[in-house]
Structure 1
Amino acid sequence: MPVLFFAGCGGDTEVSSPSDFEAPREPVNLGGDGDLYAPNRLLEINISMAASEFDQLRAEGRTLASTARECLSDYDYTEFSASVTIDGVAMKDVVVRKKGYIGSLSPSIPSLKLDFNDLWDGRTYQNSSRMTLNNNRQDPSNARQCLAYEQFRQAGIAAPRCNYARVRVNGQNLGIFTNVEPIKKPFLARAFGNDDGNQYEAQTSDFGTWLSQRFEKKTNEKENDRSDLQSVTDALALPDDQLMNVLPQLVDVDQFIRFWAVETLIGAWDSATGNANNFHIYRSPADGRFHFIPWGADTAFRGEHPLKPGTGVFYRNFSLADRLFNLPQYRAQYEAELEDLLATQWNESQLLQELEQVRVLTGISEASVASLKAFIAGKGEPADDSYRMPRRVALEQALAEDPPSGAVYRLADTRPDCSAPVTTPLTGRVAALNGTDTGAFQFNLPSGQPVTASLTFASFGVDSLVYSVDTESSPEVISLLLIGVDASNAYKPYVLQLFIEASDYVPGTHEFHGFATNALLFEVDESLPGDVRTLALGAKGKVTFIKVGTGASAGDVELTLDATLEYGPDVQ
């Protein structure tokens, strides 16, 4: 039984567990000195943990609506203890937790982090104390991350190493994960020769008076001195001639331009310059300057930003890239880097060969790598509806443009609105059976005005319940597009898009979870790109499938909704 120690007359207690009195465990390196990130290696990882705890782990994650808030609260995943076997080497008391911000969240196949030395100080597996296992949810090819990081390394940019792992939990095969080197102090020491500097992780972050607050400090947290970020913000506010003198003292500008060029080369839209997202920066004590580190590269080899129309080939949705692009000297340097990468590094036949090696190693189908192949080498002929020009051609055409095309989407550097979001209940019952769409969904506008969006009335003019499948996700994601009109307001149209992982597209109740199972509410506005304006995102709730079709009738469905949506801060 626990031993109680009483401290002082106030009666405070400290409870010690029996493990506090066990002999200390000696540091140990298991698995020998093998290369944990050997490119041709497929690890076999088996995790055993309480079934109820794994259910809890799978269910955790931010809500879709919370990621759109200007004041994003901290979110910590629960840590669990598990037994883990890697390529036959068994370990007890390994800390396991879920990982992921929003795009990779999955209730069926969660990304995972393993910590070998948290409960056993000094224990490592093949000289590593941690493992990061990404579920490849946005990459059915399994190849995008490792191929992308290799392109960065070839260009002289520090990038994590990675390979592959087959992961089983409690005997259930979760499939192929990407084993990515964590951006921790061992990585910093290897890449920069030191690990004492300030490291920040960026999720929709940029330099700015307010935007810099979004950088998450990963080292030296106790001191929390963020003045180095402010120095870059101040430099970016200087006139051009002063900026060109000051900025290179704060940022390795040459390295950043190469980094930027590689992000463009590989079409990584959800990146630093493509989306102000998914990267780390490190201020090395060796030179006192910031260096950029790629991260979250599972959307590489895709191209134009799917949510920011007209972005084009040249990425500059980031303050540093946008400012440098508008200075002739730096734009010329950026374009010269792209030309050099095309001439000396971008090798289509080698990339396709490496892709085929990954396909065979991980046992996936030809269809799973088709879009990545098309990005690299192109697809079809210009007259074809499915034509895709090779990446080399797309870049060469962009480099020949004068002036360059492409819209720029920068994050607004404004004081965040931390007020409570405006919410609305979302309810409804809809069906698509034998070609007939019926039912309605209900919600309230921010003013409180109730809306009943009728699919039955909308079906006289359009297909008001549209079923489609996103095959570029793993598992595949079912999209149900509900189009309804409000008869009480001149038949004003609204669109509700439901997402659900294909593995959950079965009768039963399914809770909202990241992008995997959720709802987005739009109003029709033909003056906007895509003809719609986003109104609200799913916060919490559930969708219950009463009936679902299969095969050629997969779009036949009957469902009910019971959820809460959050309106965006710009929606009145």
Structure 2
Amino acid sequence: MALLSVLGACTRVHETPPDARRPEHIQGAAAPFPHRELPHDWHAFDTRFLHYVSIQVAPEHLDALEHDHEQRIPCDITLNGVSLHNVGIRQKGSLGSGSTLADKPGWSLKFDEFVKGQRYQGLDKLLLNNAHQDRSLLNEHLAYELYRRAGLAAPRTAHALVVLNGRIYGFYVVREAYDKRALRGMFGNGNGNLYEGSCCVDFAAPLGSPALLDLKDEQEEGRTREDLQVLADIVETAPDDTLEQQLEAVLDVDAWLTSYALEVALAHWDGYALNLNNYYLYHRPGDGRFVFLPQGMDQLVDQPELDPFQVPQSRLAQRVLEHPSLKARFLARLHTVVREVWSDEAMQARAEAVHTVIESVPYDDARVREELEDFQARFPLQLELFRGRRILLEGLLPPSGP
């Protein structure tokens, strides 16, 4: 199967219109969305409809919104008819999400940044991913669903049409943020240490240390990194004969091996195992063990023939492959992911629901038309890449497991 030829079959570069190259272009009034009736039980990550997001930023804050990706500025926002004032907004500043206001930035919203206790559907944060690296709008949506099918925690996603100061910015992936509320829903307790890994560093030597990860609320709540240092020490120095036992005490090894299997199965070359990027570590208060949490899964199967057994960058993954018992467990997890968790039919059904939602867009706008054409062309190709990847993996694995 010539999977590599499929990948490049439909790629469109968005050109910025000449009249959209200055922030002044977005200083208009908010364009109203058409009225509609939502299901009585709708929620922030509902996949049954296209979410409408209208953001209004005062002219004096546009320069900060353009150039300061750290500090949030105030905005007024309406989400599916729910209006909130003085919400904190900033651009998402990673390589994949970074942009200019004249193009299509990704956004991070914090509803209680300036108004204590303000919430949207119980949320204090929400992410709007621009899908610059995923014209199909499917990758994150399908990948996190596979994580959940495998019994792992993953953020919820939906799709939205976003307007900023009257200008339509196009389709976005609405994504749940890893905050205390989300962690509480996933693990029953959201008070553990949450670490974010930046590109491209490990928490363990030789390519990193616990000091290089971002520990959320470290200063505000007086948190320490002693828990992660214990895990790093085990990964770095534990002898082979006690490595598995020592890891089990501080890491949910089964969950980690499943996560590793999912990364390589989905050809997620930009994740923790293969590129030391796009990962969180959460120290569960319930059992005192770490779990890995995925993010940034927008570049999947664009290397459709990626070797799932290639030498990883992560020292933890390297030690797994060097250890006979842990390697056998990893291969068993990969077998389970490919032959039991991964369902072409389930992925097709979830993708078709996205197709219906995206095509419900109410506007005939130039950007919407362009992105809709991209989506319609890319949609079948992306599903073919996913199916082809599963078939390739089937051929690489023993018929009945390791």
TM-score (norm 1): 0.56
User: Is residue 176 of structure 1 aligned with residue 174 of structure 2?
Assistant: no
Answer yes or no: is the 8 Å Cα contact 1:46–1:167 preserved in 2. yes
Alignment of 1:107-506 (within 5 A): 107=100, 108-203=103-198, 204-209=200-205, 210-221=208-219, 222-236=221-235, 237-303=237-303, 312-314=307-309, 316-363=312-359, 364-365=372-373, 366-377=376-387, 390-400=388-398
Tell me, yes or no, if structure 1 residue 38 matches structure 2 residue 31: no
Q: In the superposition, relative to structure 1, how do residues 311 and 238 fare at CA in structure 2: closer, same or farther (>3 Å)?
A: farther
Q: Which has the higher helix share?
A: 2
Q: Deviations over 1:195-219 (max 9, x none)?
A: 2211101112313254332211014
Q: Tell me which stretches of 4 or more aligned residues in structure 1 moved more than 4 Å.
A: none
Superposed displacement of residue 160, structure 1: 0.7
Please list every run of 5 or more consecutive structure 1 residues that lacks an aligned counterpart in the other structure.
Answer: 1-30, 62-76, 305-309, 378-389, 405-572
**Contact 2:162–2:171 (CA<8 Å) still a contact in 1?**
yes
CA distance in 2, matches of 1:362, 1:78: 32
Q: Distance in 2 between matches of 1:147 and 1:219?
A: 30
CA contact (8 A) 1:274 1:317 kept: yes
The corresponding residue for 1:527 is none
Indicate yes or no: 2:108 matched with 1:98.
no
Q: CA deviation at 1:52?
A: 5.0
Q: Which has the higher contact order (CA 8 A, sep 6+)?
A: 2
Q: What is the RMSD computed on CA atoms of the aligned residues? A: 2.3
Once residues 268 and 60 of structure 1 are traced to their aligned partners in structure 2, the CA distance between those partners, rounded to angstroms, is 30
Question: 2:119 is paired with a residue of what secondary structure?
Answer: strand
Distance 1:375 1:311 in 2: 12
Displacement of 1:81: 1.2
SS at match of 1:339: helix
In 2, Cα distance between the equivalents of 1:360 and 1:100? 30
Instruction: Pick the aligned partner of 1:89 from 82, 102, 116.
Output: 82
The SS at the match of 2:144 is helix
Secondary structure at 2:210 match in 1: helix
Give 1:189 shift: 0.8
Counterpart CA distance in 2 for 1:130 and 1:42 is 19
SS at match of 2:397: helix
Letter in 2 for 1:327: H
Q: Give the total of aligned pairs.
A: 340
Alpha-carbon distance in 2 for matches of 1:159, 1:122: 25
**Alpha-carbon deviation of 1:400?**
4.9
The Cα offsets for residues 429-463 of structure 1, whole Å up to 9 and x where unpaired, read as xxxxxxxxxxxxxxxxxxxxxxxxxxxxxxxxxxx
Unaligned runs of 5+ in 2: 1-38, 360-371
Contact 1:145 1:297 in 2 (8 A): yes
Q: Give the partner amino acid of 1:95.
A: G
| Partners of 1:318 and 1:347 in 2: CA distance | 28
Normalising to structure 2: TM-score of the pair? 0.79
* Residues 44-98 of structure 1: per-residue CA shift (max 9 Å, x gap): 111111235335423445xxxxxxxxxxxxxxx2321111111222222111111
Q: CA deviation at 1:265?
A: 2.0
For 1:158 and 1:184, the matched residues in 2 are separated by 13
Distance in 2 between the 1:172 and 1:40 partners? 25
> Which residue of the partner structure matches residue 62 of structure 2?
54
Query: 2:290, 2:216 → 1: CA distance?
Result: 14
Tell me the distance in 2 between the aligned counterparts of 1:333 and 1:81.
49
- Residue 243 of structure 1 aligns with an amino acid whose one-letter code is L
1:238-274 deviations in Å (ceiling 9; x for gaps): 2100212211111111110011111122222111112
Retained in 1: the 8 A contact 2:110–2:124? yes
Displacement of 1:233: 1.9
Greater C-alpha Rg: 1
SS in 2 for 1:205: coil
Secondary structure of 2:84's aligned partner: strand
**Structure that is richer in strand per residue:** 1
Q: Deviations along 1:326-368, whole A, 9 cap, x unmatched? A: 2121111111112122222212233223223213312333322
Q: Aligned residue for 1:442?
A: none
Query: 1:493-514, CA deviations, whole angstroms, 9 ceiling, x for partnerless residues?
Result: xxxxxxxxxxxxxxxxxxxxxx
